[in-house]
Amino acid sequence: MATAADATVPSQDERPPSIVYGPTAPVTLTMTFSELLDHHVEVRGDQPAVISHPQGITLSFRQLRDRSVQLAQAMAQDGVGKGDLVAISLGSRVEYFETFFAIARLGAALVLLNYAFTDSEMLALLKTVRESL
């Protein structure tokens, strides 16, 4: 008869997603989002990070990091930097994740514009975002 001691514990990479096999209490992370992505590139590299069935696109952690770094460089050249607010309306697209990590890498903050907002709601929100580009 097998006992609990006989059961093998799967390694970090073999376990299901944390929502299934995660800790019972939140774990405090001490890294930024860009450091977290860099960590996943080292650990998971070419494994899928973002899968968009509607777009027919799958990005690995490495591709996501590389594309977000390129976008961050372009945004920095256009004057986006630490503390800036960047407004986007992208919905559930691969480009959302690229933009999120690019903005995080720059130390800027993301302002999400909901495509369902009325014109007056959109204008009210945009008034809070200082124009950078």
Confidence at residue 32, expressed as pLDDT on a 0 to 100 scale: 92
Look at the chain and report how many structural domains it folds into. 1
Confidence at residue 126, expressed as pLDDT on a 0 to 100 scale: 84
pLDDT band at 98; cut points 50, 70, 90: very high
Q: What is the pLDDT of residues 67-92, one digit of tens each?
A: 999 999 999 999 999 999 998 888 88
How far apart are the C-alpha atoms of 75 and 49, rounded to whole Å?
23
Torsion sign, CA atoms 67, 65, 63, 99: negative
- Is residue 132 in a domain? no
How far apart are the C-alpha atoms of 85 and 116, rounded to whole Å?
21
How far apart are the C-alpha atoms of 59 and 22, rounded to whole Å?
24
Find the mean pLDDT for residues 5-32.
67
- Is residue 55 in a domain? yes
Nearest to 110 by CA among 87, 77, 126: 87
Both tokens of residue 17?
Answer: 């997603």
Under 8 Å between Cβ of 87 and 98: no
Confidence at residue 75, expressed as pLDDT on a 0 to 100 scale: 96
How far apart are the C-alpha atoms of 120 and 54, rounded to whole Å?
30
- Is residue 101 in a domain? yes
Position with higher pLDDT, 112 vs 25: 112
- Is residue 131 in a domain? no
Report for 15-19, 97-101, 125-129: range of highest mean pLDDT: 97-101
- Is residue 99 in a domain? yes
- Is residue 121 in a domain? yes
Residue 67 phi/psi, 5-degree rounding, is -70, -40
Q: What is the pLDDT of residues 29-67, one digit of tens each?
A: 789 999 999 999 999 999 999 999 999 999 999 999 999
pTM higher than 0.85 for the full model?
Answer: no
98 is in which domain, residue-wise? 31-126
Residues 6+ apart with CB under 8 A from 84: 106, 108, 109, 130, 132
- Is residue 102 in a domain? yes
Task: Indicate which CATH number applies to the domain containing 47.
Answer: 3.40.50.980
Position with higher pLDDT, 112 vs 13: 112
- Is residue 2 in a domain? no
